[in-house]
Structure 1
């Protein structure tokens, strides 16, 4: 099981993580990425790779 988190201070709302996530974990809310379906995270870390702001972490729990 994985726990994706977005640092709202760093997130610029580019939507790259929303577009690349294969399990639709993220949605843009108020111009920030939010892991609304965190339970669906498979830990592939694609979101981390595309986030130029380094705003995303994925922790194994």
Structure 2
């Protein structure tokens, strides 16, 4: 079982909160936006969703 992580680039302000809170380093900041570079590591904990004030992140179970 895995998860699909999506970041809405129009909403993302690149504050890095998701990068800081993710326990398995799913995200990197690239060109001022969060990018899920290690999506296969996602635990589905949704910590990133909770800290994203812009509601730019969605996580769906595969």
- Give the TM-score, by structure 2 length: 0.97
- Give the TM-score, by structure 1 length: 0.99
Cα deviation, 1:2-46, whole Å, max 9, x if unaligned, reads 111100000000000000000000000000000000000000000
Separation (CA, whole Å) in 2 of partners of 1:23 and 1:3: 15
Gaps in structure 2 of 5+ consecutive residues: none
Is 1:60 the equivalent of 2:30? no
Gaps in structure 1 of 5+ consecutive residues: none
Deviation at 1:58, TM superposition (A): 0.2
CA-based RMSD? 0.3
Is 1:38 the equivalent of 2:42? no
Q: Which 4+ stretches in 1 moved above 3 angstroms? A: none
